[in-house]
Amino acid sequence: MLVVIQRVTSSYVKVEKSIIGSIDKGLVCFVCAVPNDTLKTIEKVADKISKLRIFNDANGKMNKSVIDVGGSVLIISQFTLAANTERGNRPDFRGAMQQKEAKFLFEYLVKTMKDTKIKTETGVFGADMELMICNDGPVTISLNIE
């Protein structure tokens, strides 16, 4: 699974001009399922998101997780993370998992994150979404978890 994580002070997602998910301090996670991802992959991703120490401690060092700071998570499906731009100028997205299977894994990730008791919000899988992200730092981390 491809994941891009941004540490934020706040964020929201709109679909058809309505806010459907919002968080204050926490993480915005853009996720893209790729072929060979499994439920086990999703469990690894959820564990990494919840334990990734990218929030500052009292000494200003990135030493705290989203759990430690009482933060929230906003998970957004984004198949464009699988873009291949090696040939030409138009991205190729064949590296992304097929929609039906990807949606199942996305929903499993959302459920798994909610099971951690971290406040978890989401957009709508496959929808056109508008996001407001107030990046904190800025801190942006890219993961490729198999």
80 annotated active-site: yes
State the average pLDDT over residues 91-120. 95
Question: What global pTM score does this model have?
Answer: 0.94
- The CA distance from 119 to 132, in Å, is 18
Q: Where are the domains of the chain?
A: 2-138
- The CA distance from 56 to 105, in Å, is 31
CA distances 96 to 6, 32, 42, 56, 120, Å, are 21, 7, 15, 33, 24
Q: What is the pLDDT of residues 18-57, one digit of tens each?
A: 999 999 999 999 999 999 999 999 999 999 999 999 999 9
Q: What is the pLDDT of residues 61-97, one digit of tens each?
A: 999 999 999 999 999 999 999 999 998 899 999 999 9
Among the options 80, 120, 122, 140, which is catalytic?
Answer: 80
**CATH numeric code, 2-138:** 3.50.80.10
